[in-house]
């Protein structure tokens, strides 16, 4: 696992990602999140499944929230107490998966 990044490093990392925002998880740890709009419930659910598979392979699991055709993804490293380089890498992977799964144009 990589080390926790300070807030300045996380903000710099977010500049390389479109639509991701600085957030906090339920325990107030620094996190990054993005809300993905899809064309259909099926596309949103397919994306959820694909994210679950990459998370399991990485042994690093995000918080996921599905609301009909929208999926909120929040990454943080619980073991490190905040955001790491792994979270930023997996966020970029989510963006690629979303495009492949039927992402709507960003609203």
Pairing, β 21-24 against β 63-67: unpaired
Could you tell me the pTM of the whole model?
A: 0.91
For the cut 90, the answer to whether the pLDDT of residue 27 exceeds it is no
- Torsion sign across C-alpha atoms 96, 38, 73, 61: negative
For the cut 80, the answer to whether the pLDDT of residue 43 exceeds it is yes
* 19 pLDDT tier (thresholds 50, 70, 90): very high
Give the chain's domains with CATH numbers: 7-101 (3.30.1360.20)
> Rounded to whole angstroms, how far apart are CA atoms 78 and 38?
28
> Rounded to whole angstroms, how far apart are CA atoms 75 and 73?
7
């Amino acid at each position: 696992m990589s080390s926790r990044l300070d807030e300045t490093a996380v903000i710099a990392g977010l500049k390389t990602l479109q639509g991701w925002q600085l957030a906090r998880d339920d325990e107030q740890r620094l996190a990054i999140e993005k809300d993905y709009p899809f064309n259909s419930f099926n596309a949103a659910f397919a994306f959820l499944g694909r994210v679950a598979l990459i998370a399991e392979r990485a042994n690093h699991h995000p918080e996921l929230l599905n609301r009909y055709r929208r999926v909120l993804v929040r990454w943080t490293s619980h073991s490190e107490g905040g955001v790491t380089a792994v979270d930023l890498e997996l966020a970029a992977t989510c963006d690629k998966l979303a495009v492949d799964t039927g992402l709507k144009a960003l609203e």
